[in-house]
Amino acid sequence: MSASAVVIGAGVSGLTTAVCLAESGMDVRVDTDRPPGATTSAAAGAMWDPYLAEPRDLVERWSRVTLSVLTELSSVTGSGIRLLDGTQQSRIPCELPTWGPLVGARRCAPGELRDGFVAGWRYRAPLVDMPRYLRYLVDRLTEAGGRVREHHYDSLDDALPEAPVVVNCSGSDARFLAADAEVEAVRGQLVVVENPGIHRFFCDDTPGAEDLTYIYPHPDVVVLGGTSDRDNWELRPDRAEAEEIVRRCAAVEPSLAKARIVEHRVGLRPARSSVRLAEERHADTLLLHNYGHGGAGLTLSWGCAREVAERVRAARVTSP
Ligand SMILES: Cc1cc2nc3c(=O)[nH]c(=O)nc-3n(C[C@H](O)[C@H](O)[C@H](O)COP(=O)(O)OP(=O)(O)OC[C@H]3O[C@@H](n4cnc5c(N)ncnc54)[C@H](O)[C@@H]3O)c2cc1C
């Protein structure tokens, strides 16, 4: 089963990269040791939100590109993406985020603020049903001639002979696969409940807050967040944390207190001082890295994937 490009990883970074390469005419195979539905990407909330990622200038560019693609995809049936109105609010005075103008953010009127909040921004941004969106990406990859194979690599050296182009999108496992001690897992847990009739998103964005509190409504369920636990690789949900998430969200939106729980989700954010988007030459193989997106992997996905595809194109044009 030869390929002109192998992408390691079937999370949002790997699948988006694979789609960009396949749609540029390459024969692409995604090798992954977990099916897309069992990745961190499938566990994410998930909203477009350039959350704490570095380097700032590139993050701004990558998130702008992604915003534009996700906005276009929101009109594609089955993509799992909707543009949703809502607010980010803070318990202390705060400034408009730098990306506010991209999503038409305006200051909340006092009547729009929840109890205990003193400032906030109303805007419209893409909200993504991640399990469905990952299925959409796999379908789009297949349509472009690509495929997904379940396979585990013990080391990147084992992947290099597989194709002239190899892209490493292994998320938090890049700590082991790429021997990158800078990568740390930041565990996140979410609770999914039946939707009691909520139509707008809410996110507590108090600077320096210890807890994450957010409410992301999909048509039949609401994703409630969340936690952020550094250097914790545990994938089993914790019952006490789940109760605390529901309690915090219900304090903001009381109709959630009695909503039936349908699922618990856990994912490992691939935290790093900055995203690693880099290339290396190994004999006949071009190896690219695309990992370390922390809590913003969806938000950066199209910007990073297009940059990988552009670097591959440039390398192929200049190689003898
Ligand atoms: C609770 C939570 C909420 C979040 N909310 C948001 C949000 O609202 N917006 C946002 O933008 N981001 C959000 N994130 C962050 C986002 O989920 C991540 O940044 C993103 O999923 C990372 O994607 P990835 O494809 O790089 O990694 P992953 O999804 O972890 O995928 C890694 C892939 O690599 C494969 N792999 C790893 N090692 C190997 C190996 N040795 N051999 C073969 N395959 C391998 C895995 O099987 C997997 O397929 C959230 C994260 C969490 C946990």
Q: Whose CA is closest to 153, among 139, 167, 142, 141?
A: 167
In the DSSP assignment, the letter for residue 135 is H
pLDDT at 56: 84
* Index of the ligand 1 atom closest to the CA of residue 294: 19
Q: Residue 256 contacts by C-beta under 8 Å, 6 or more apart in sequence? A: 193, 196, 198, 215, 222, 224, 246, 249, 250
Distance in Å, CA 112 to ligand 1 centroid: 33
Q: Which residues line ligand 1 (CB under 6 A)?
A: 8-14, 31-34, 39-41, 43-47, 49, 152-153, 169-173, 177, 188, 190, 226, 267, 269-270, 291, 293-299
Going from the N-terminus, what domains does the chain have, and what CATH number goes with each? 1-80+129-183+272-320 (3.40.50.720), 83-126+185-271 (3.30.9.10)
Q: On the CB side of 19, how many CA atoms lie within 13 Å of its CA? A: 23
Mean pLDDT by 10 residues, the chain (320 residues): 92 98 98 98 95 81 97 98 97 91 95 95 98 98 98 97 97 98 97 98 91 94 96 96 97 96 98 96 95 97 98 79
Distance CA 300, CA 56 (A): 12
Do 58 and 86 touch, CB atoms closer than 8 A? no
**Residue in the block written with tokens 């998103």:** 201
pLDDT score recorded for residue 2: 84
Q: Which ligand 1 atom sits closest to the C-alpha of 34? A: 47
AA letter at 309? A
Nearest CA to ligand 1 atom 27: 171
Residue 47: DSSP 8-state:
B
Distance 12 CA to ligand 1 centre (A): 7
Rounded Cα distance between 11 and 73, Å, is 18
Distance CA 53, CA 172 (A): 15
Name residues whose C-beta falls within 8 Å of residue 296's C-beta, 6 or more positions apart in sequence. 49, 50, 51, 52, 53, 59, 63
Sequential DSSP letters for 182-249:
T-EEEEEEEEEEE-SS--SEEEE--TT-SS-EEEEE-SSEEEEE---EET----S--HHHHHHHHHHH
Query: Residue 102's Cα: distance from chain center in Å?
Result: 19
Distance 186 CA to ligand 1 centre (A): 11
Among protein residues, the one with the nearest Cα to ligand 1's atom 51 is 44
Q: What is the pTM of this model?
A: 0.97
The residue whose CA has the least distance to atom 18 of ligand 1 is 297
Q: How far is the CA of 230 from the centre of ligand 1 (A)?
A: 15
Show Cβ contacts of residue 46 under 8 Å, excluding neighbours closer than 6 positions.
127, 128, 130, 216, 298
**Distance in Å, CA 267 to ligand 1 centroid:** 7
Q: Ligand 1 atom 2: the closest Cα is on which residue?
A: 44
Nearest to 18 by CA among 3, 2, 37: 3
- Cα–Cα–Cα angle for 106, 108, 111, rounded to 5 degrees: 155
CA of 39 to the centre of ligand 1 (A): 6
**CA-closest residue to ligand 1 atom 1:** 188
Ligand 1 center to 163 CA (angstroms): 23
Distance CA 298, CA 65 (A): 12
d(CA 29, CA 1): 9
